[in-house]
Copies of this chain bind each other. A is one copy, B any other.
Amino acid sequence: MIPTNSIGIVETQTFTFAQDEPFVLDSGATLQPVTLAYETYGQLNAERTNAILICHALSGSAHAAGYHAGDDKPGWWDDCIGPGKAFDTNRFFVICSNVLGSCYGSSGPTTINPAAGKPYGLSFPVVTVQDMVRAQVKLVDHLGIDQLFCVAGGSMGGMQVLAWAANYPQRTRAAIPLATTARHSPMLIAFSEVGRQAIYADPAWNNGAYYDQPSKPDAGLAVARMVGHITYLSDDSMQEKFGRRLHERERYGYEFHAEFEVESYLKYNGNKFTRRFDANSYLYVTKAMDYFDLGRDGSLSQAFRGATAVKFLVVSFTSDWLYPSYHSKEIVKALTAVGADVTYLDILSRWGHDAFLLEVDTMTGLLENFLGRLLREERDPSSAVRESYFVNGEGDA
């Protein structure tokens, strides 16, 4: 039964480009052709000014909202995308595309390499967040949209938002980077690398050439996911969610089964992940995140120097130890230095990094406010004010 506030049944579409000319990546390598899987919700208005691009995180897909026929679970950000929701599909035309390198229909290691007649595997070129965004620009061109109303996303989705603002500032009116960073920290790289090492350590990985083999590196991918999963939670949320409760038993078993609820939960979700994600894609997407460092060729302010006309809503969460608030404050500082219009909120939350998906009420209020302000200014440009407010913020950002 599909809830009445859902966008309803949706389908993933594909867009293929670079058939005639190769798509050149940051590495210098090329791809030809490139396919992006994408979904859209709502209607593009006649002026083509109401499009919002949603960018997904590490394990996400183009399926951000609504239901695929036969599914009982909606898209990954259905809480915030739909009729009357924060990204109101009665008003906005919402686009979400699967990133380059992923395994949900966009070009990636699972795609057939036309030159070889078999999946790319590790012969797929390494991509960057900027490459992902460059491909999204092609999609937005294809949809005939000159300027997006807004680009929004959390975690790796937030990195894409920042790359849009830095590299294509004229292509979006606003940017909403959530729970993210402009520069992947050594701790983030370390957790990425542990996940990759878990995959490499699985003999079934076979150097990435497992698509025609009887087994896949599921064991390694499950361990990688378990590591990641812990980092998306917080000490506090794990205390609340699991405590030291035992799973389906009363007392310690003194054996090596998963005895605690938290063990059982992680193991279950680690295994479940292997049924929906590809191990090689996990390598490519985490690698893209590790490379992300917007200020690498100068300062972060310099990276944002063209983004003075973009309106930003930057959000961090107090219990997010993976992308701690200071990462967002660095972004705000750099944006403020170039005179961009920035609203920053450091939201008090217990839910760790996952808070950007879980704090639905807070996020809904926040997004509605911010988008409402942009709509008012669109109707009446004289109403524009440079707002800056901070919740739990330290003001120094």
Contact = CB atoms under 8 A, between A and B. Distances in A.
A252 B291 contact: yes
Contacts of A186: 238-239, 241-244, 260-262
Interface stretch (A139-147, A218-226, A362-370, A386-394): A218-226
Contacts of A255: 126
Contact of A239 (B185, B260, B267, B270): B185
Nearest to A242: B186
Contacts of A26: 254
A203 interface: yes
A189 interface: yes
On chain A, which size bracket covers the interface?
35 or more
A183 interface: yes
B184 A244 contact: yes
Interface string A226-245: 11001001010011011110
Nearest to A233: B187
A287 interface: yes
B203 A201 contact: no
Contact of A201 (B126, B189, B198, B242): B198
A254 B223 contact: no
Contacts of A190: 226, 230, 238, 262-263, 266
Interface string A24-37: 00111100000000
Contacts of A202: 201
Contact of A256 (B196, B201, B222): B196
Residue among A126, A227, A239, A283 having the largest count of chain B Cβ atoms under 10 Å:
A227
Contacts of A194: 223, 226-227, 230, 266
Number of chain copies forming the complex = 2
22 contacts: A27-B252, A27-B254, A28-B254, A125-B254, A126-B255, A183-B244, A184-B244, A186-B244, A186-B261, A190-B238, A190-B262, A191-B230, A193-B226, A193-B263, A193-B266, A194-B223, A194-B266, A198-B198, A200-B219, A201-B222, A201-B223, A223-B223
Interface of A: 26-29, 122, 125-126, 183-187, 189-191, 193-194, 196-198, 200-203, 219-220, 222-223, 226-227, 230, 233, 235, 238-239, 241-244, 252, 254-256, 258, 260-263, 266-267, 270, 283, 287, 290-291, 293, 321, 324
Nearest to A219: B201
A197 B304 CA distance: 43
A263 B201 contact: no
A130 to B, nearest CB: 12
A324 B235 contact: yes
A-B interface, 9 closest residue pairs, ranked by CB to CB distance from nearest: A27-B254, A201-B219, A126-B254, A186-B238, A186-B262, A193-B263, A186-B242, A194-B226, A190-B230
